[in-house]
Amino acid sequence: MVSETEQATIRRPVVLNGPSGVGKSTIIKQLMRKYPGEFVFAVSHTSRPMRAGEEDGKDYHFKTREEIEDLRARGLMLETAEVHDNIYGTSVQAVESELGTSVCILDVDYQGALSCKRYYSDKPVRPLYIFVGPSDLDPETVCQTIEKRLRLRGTESEETIQKRLTTAGRELEFFHSNPGFYDHVIINKDGALDETVAKVEEIFMQETVLLASPVQA
Ligand SMILES: Nc1ncnc2c1ncn2[C@@H]1O[C@H](COP(=O)(O)OP(=O)(O)OP(=O)(O)O)[C@@H](O)[C@H]1O
């Protein structure tokens, strides 16, 4: 819970949403490289197995489903979501421990974004909600692009690629049926990552992501 004295120094968290494979992690990594110490990644909890090269506490907090469910039962999870047979989530602590010093970025799915909106609806902090799409946001084109990117990334089995494509369809359905939910939509076009990152920076400046809005009386 953020105290009144802390409000003056709060920096708005950013909720980044979009289908698997669209490039969310890549964008965050670029920003972190460009602004060392400025952005922090809200390290999520997950019950999925660790992939080669991943580090516990850095890429994710790798926990059992029971451990994550226990945190949720104690009101210590900001959001949780069932994705591809695993439970994912962000703890309140992962976000709020960072608010005074850095811009905290949450890479979550639409269920997570919804939970964040609910959680912060009566709090002094107003996160910025951004949807990242790979193309013109037509479900068919989107799926073709992310399928290609996921195959090139080479981290997923055929089965998980298919699951991610199904989930991508749900992400787009949510996007199209909730106009106004996101503050901004960013298109991460093929081969245009630098352009995407520049657009994100422009939005962050325009939105004064560096300071939270005061509480509305
Ligand atoms: N503009 C782009 N053009 C082409 N390929 C890209 C672009 N941006 C990212 N990629 C590539 O697409 C793949 C997926 O990107 P990334 O892992 O960042 O996606 P993600 O949205 O974080 O996915 P997930 O939700 O599954 O973690 C990576 O191999 C990345 O290098």
Q: For the chain, how many structural domains are there in total? A: 1
Is residue 212, in this structure, part of any structural domain at all?
Answer: no
Q: Is 8 a domain residue? A: yes
Residue 113's domain comprises: 4-39+102-206
The ipTM of this complex is 0.96
User: Which tokens belong to 102?
Assistant: 């850095």
Amino acid identity of residue 41, one-letter, is F
Measured CA to CA, the distance from residue 94 to residue 208 in angstroms comes to 22
Choice from 15, 24, 26 to test ligand 1 binding pocket (greatest atom count within 8 A of CB): 26
For the stretch 14-24, what's the b/e string if a residue is b when 16 or more beta carbons lie within 10 angstroms of its beta carbon?
bbbbbbbbbbb
Q: Whose CA is nearest to atom 30 of ligand 1?
A: 23
**pLDDT attached to residue 2:** 52
Indicate whether 132 belongs to any domain. yes
| DSSP tag of 19 | -
- Of all protein residues, the one whose alpha carbon is nearest to atom 27 of ligand 1 is 20
Task: Give the distance (Å) from ligand 1 centre to CA of residue 72.
Answer: 29
Active site residues: 51, 153, 164
Amino acid letter, residue 142: V
Digits of tens for pLDDT over the chain (217 positions)?
555 545 545 678 999 999 989 999 999 999 888 888 888 888 889 999 999 999 999 889 999 999 999 999 998 899 998 887 999 999 988 888 766 778 889 988 898 899 999 988 988 888 999 999 998 888 888 899 999 999 999 988 999 999 999 999 999 999 999 999 999 999 999 999 999 999 998 998 888 664 433 334 3
Q: Is residue 158 part of a domain?
A: yes
Residue 28 lies in a domain: yes
**Cβ contact 79:163 at 8 Å:** no
Report the distance separating Cα 41 and Cα 59, nearest Å. Answer: 9
Rg (CA), the chain: 17
Cα separation, 167 vs 173, in Å, equals: 10
Q: What's the CATH code of the domain at 181?
A: 3.40.50.300
Evaluate whether residue 141 is within a structural domain.
yes
Q: Within a domain: residue 94? A: no
Would 81 be classed as within a structural domain?
A: no
